[in-house]
């Protein structure tokens, strides 16, 4: 074994040294799903839940969610807490209407 030089920085001490992968690292790397390299010019659209969202832009979905939340808050302010949203088509329009649910008391 050769003489160990003194007063070396951490970077100099580890120059030329390469860590060998452990068994755990090898197994974890093998278990990871392989991904195709993505080009930086094309950005993949974010994965959204629901099949209707494949036809709508993210802006349209965000606007629709915001408006539905406003309706829900308006109904709450009116004291309506149990309701169903009915969806129907009128020509090229989609109509959302609420229908209150009658509460039945169980004795």
Mean pLDDT calculated for residue range 103-107: 58
Residue 102 resides in a domain = yes
Q: Could you tell me which of 54, 57, 83 has the C-alpha nearest to residue 68?
A: 83
Residue 89 resides in a domain = yes
Residue 41 resides in a domain = no
Q: Predicted confidence band at 10 (pLDDT cuts at 50, 70, 90)?
A: confident
Q: 64 phi and psi, to 5 degrees?
A: -65, -45
Mean pLDDT calculated for residue range 81-89: 87
CA–CA distance, 39 with 87 (Å, rounded to integer): 40
Give the domain extent around 81.
53-107
Residue 87 resides in a domain = yes
How many domains does one find in the chain?
A: 1
Cβ-contact 80, 71 below 8 angstroms: no
In tens, the pLDDT along 19-68 reads: 888 888 888 888 877 766 655 555 555 555 665 556 778 888 888 889 88
CA–CA distance, 70 with 93 (Å, rounded to integer): 20
Residue 46 resides in a domain = no
Residue 10 resides in a domain = no
- Under DSSP, the state recorded for 35 is -
Residue 78 resides in a domain = yes
Residue 86 resides in a domain = yes
């Amino acid at each position: 074994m050769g003489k160990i030089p003194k007063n070396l920085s951490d970077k100099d001490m580890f120059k030329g040294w390469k860590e060998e992968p452990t068994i755990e690292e090898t197994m974890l790397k093998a278990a990871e799903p392989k991904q195709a390299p993505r080009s930086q010019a094309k950005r993949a659209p974010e994965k959204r839940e629901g099949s209707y969202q494949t036809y709508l832009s993210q802006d349209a979905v965000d606007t629709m969610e915001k408006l539905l939340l406003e309706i829900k808050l308006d109904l709450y302010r009116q004291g309506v807490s149990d309701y169903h949203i009915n969806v129907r088509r009128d020509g090229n329009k989609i109509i959302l209407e609420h229908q209150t649910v009658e509460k039945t008391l169980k004795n």
